[in-house]
Amino acid sequence: MKKISLSLVVMATISLSSVLSANTLGEALSNGKVSGDLSATYEGRDLKKDLNAYYHDTQYSVGSIGLNYKTADFYNFGAVVGFRAYKTLFEGDSHKETSTGFGDASERFYETGKNRNADLENAYISYDLENLHIKAGRQALSTEWIDKTQDAVSLFTKLNDTDVEMIWTNRQGRVSSRDYRPMTQVNPENGGLYKLGITQNFTDNISAKAYGLTAPSLKDIYGGKLNFKNKVNDIDFGAMAHYAQTNEDVNNVENSNITELTTFATISGFKTTLGYIQVDKDAEFKYIAGETINPFEEGDQIYLKDARTTYLMLSKKIVDVKLTALYGITKYEEFKKSEFNLWGTYELVKNLDLNIGYAFTNEDNSDANTTNLQQLNTTIAYIF
């Protein structure tokens, strides 16, 4: 028997509840809100040389429409159902074979070799109190080693000065205006991935987090974070130290570890962040259901064994334009590469946003597996 995805179960539950309890839920449903966006994204990649079916020149534009319906609260319960539909608008080469299909757009929008037409972006039931938030179904998450779109159950609660995070996820992927990656099962043979995180807020300025993730019979990840922040006059500043290690259960896969250090300061609207990332000398760091450490648009070598990355990020809002510049250097094995990123966000008119991103990588000529890359992406979205 085929496995039924959690998001479909949630949709069925929402529909069944509406039928069986129409009188009870009628007001919550009728007072619900519809929201969405109309978006178009463009990406162009120019490589010094074609390496393989993934690393080669591409140009494409894909339009999408996202529609979401959110019920009003009913005894602290709520529900959200959202779809996103895609349409390829332009491809520089509609016949080129990529690593995931045919046509330039299939590098970012694909499923089983074909461009994706539509999928669920959200489909969850929620329960919310002041210090307790629970979601079950398809949802967006961003936490250590769990990121983007997840079919999951998540719980976040606050107990005095302690924050608790509990997550179980079964499938992960990406459903957004920028790209679509099909939902794939996380640890399908042994029940998905479980996470527990506990953050202790010692003061308003100092906190520490310990977390653990387990995918039975596949791997475990354990980690900890220490955060410090403060403000003196008009200057905000702080630092963070993060360490994680893997415990691999699969034969011939080596355990690894990763260290992340950052410090920041905000002065007169300029935010400067200095970061450092280092991976185990003997093994690459393999995550499970996403990551939130890599700050770059590309950053392909960050998780390789013995990779050491240093970066500087500068952010500033100038008039109505939010700008972020990032430059970093990664040393791995006997190689060295650098990357520059620039992102900008501008509200053209009310509810119409333009986002632009540029990336340039200067790869090591001695590494035959890499080549210099320039990438430009733009996304325009009308939000309603």
Residues 267-302: tens digit of each pLDDT: 999 999 999 999 999 999 999 999 999 999 999 999
- Residue 112 pLDDT grade (very low, low, confident, very high; cuts 50, 70, 90): low
Spell out the domain ranges in the chain. Answer: 64-335
What pLDDT score was predicted for residue 18? Answer: 46
User: Which string of b and e fits 57-71 if b means at least 16 CB within 10 Å?
Assistant: bbbbbbbbbbebbbb
Q: How far is CA 93 from CA 42, 44, 134, 173, in A?
A: 14, 12, 45, 25
Name the token pair of 132.
Answer: 């307790």
Contacts of 207 (CB under 8 A, 6+ apart): 199, 200, 201, 226, 227
Which among 175, 169, 182, 84 has a CA at the least distance from the CA of 135?
169
What's the CATH class of domain 64-335? Answer: mainly beta
**The predicted structure's pLDDT at residue 113:** 62
- Of the pLDDT bands very low, low, confident and very high (cuts 50, 70, 90), residue 1 is very low
The pair phi, psi for residue 255, each rounded to 5°, is -65, 150
pLDDT band at 54 (very low <50, low <70, confident <90, very high): confident
pLDDT of residue 5: 61
CB-based burial label for 170 (10 Å; 0-12, 13-18, 19+): buried
Residue 7 pLDDT exceeds 70: no
